[in-house]
Structure 1
């Protein structure tokens, strides 16, 4: 039994030593640089029901939300 295990181990190690390593720096990898002059953005997370998520997608997703926020008037505080 040890002989079979050794044979399998040797085959596995031989196979693994011929493979290219995983990970590491690769050309074109990583986040792309921001376009010069474009405003910085931040990620925001909200919780929605499945129905709300579907409706948001139909309405236009994140661009639709950004447009609504830009067009909304900020309420003035009551004294």
Structure 2
């Protein structure tokens, strides 16, 4: 005889990654690089570091 669990599973409110800015979703971008470049990017700060550098760069 199997017992069915009640009240478990399903979507949870408020879960998942929160947006950096209200109303501005993050768009995934893919770039190709060497493993040593990926390692250095991780040491420099990853995606937040890249976003900061883009914001600081002059057009």
TM-score category of the 2 structures, normalised to the smaller one: 0.5 to 0.7
Answer with 1 or 2: which has the greater Rg.
1
What is the TM-score when the length of structure 1 is the normalising length?
0.51
- Name whichever structure is richer in helix by fraction: 1
Residue from 4, 7, 12 that aligns with 1:28? 12
What is the TM-score when the length of structure 2 is the normalising length?
0.66
Large movers: runs of 4+ above 3 Å: 29-36
The number of residue pairs the alignment matches comes to: 54
C-alpha root-mean-square deviation of aligned residues, in Å? 3.1
Structure 2 gaps of 5+ residues are none
Structure 1 gaps of 5+ residues are 1-17, 75-79
